[in-house]
Amino acid sequence: MSSTFKYRCRGSCSHGGLAADLTAEHRLPGTGAAGCLQIYRNVSLALPSGTHWRDAAWLAFGLSVHSADLSSAHPDGLLVEVAALTFPLAHYRSEVAALAMDAWLRKEFALPDQGLRAAPDEENGAWRFQWGGHSDPFSDGR
């Protein structure tokens, strides 16, 4: 059965906030979803058709930070199938997909906090994202 997590991060007046609603479910692999992405060993991700590549990448990253724990807890495999990722356009950055996936997984499986966060950067008028013990996931090291 699918469940929805409503990710919200409130910013200052100049930043507004970040928001995304992630609806997903989990089950054994090979039970219905085609075209899955293998994230780690026996942990896979299925996305709705038409998912933007940036959202797909960030959803995969959000799952990957918990994949070792999920793989250990589900030796027969685990498929996370995203039914929908929705957001108000004025309050969204693609990185929010990772934060929503992280929050959904922690709620669904009682997983530990991995330190994924967003915070307003008042000085630069932008958002600052923190990826816990993980390096910037899409940095080429420059």
Q: What is the mean pLDDT of the chain?
A: 90
Model pLDDT, residue 113: 97
**Of 32 and 103, which is predicted with more confidence?**
103
> Pairing relation of β-strands 43-46 and 78-86?
parallel
Q: Is the pLDDT of residue 47 over 80?
A: yes
Phi-psi region of 141 (alpha: psi -120 to 50; beta: other; left: phi over 0): left
pTM of the model: 0.90
Residues forming beta bridges with residue 120, ordered by sequence position: 127
In degrees and rounded to multiples of 5, residue 107 shows phi and psi of -70, -45
pLDDT class for 124, splitting at 50, 70, 90?
confident
Sorting pLDDT into bands at 50, 70 and 90, what band is 55?
very high
- Tell me the pLDDT tens digit for each residue of 68-111: 999 999 999 999 999 999 987 767 789 999 999 999 999 999 99
What are the strands, taking DSSP E only, across the chain? 3-10, 17-27, 37-40, 43-46, 78-86, 116-121, 126-131
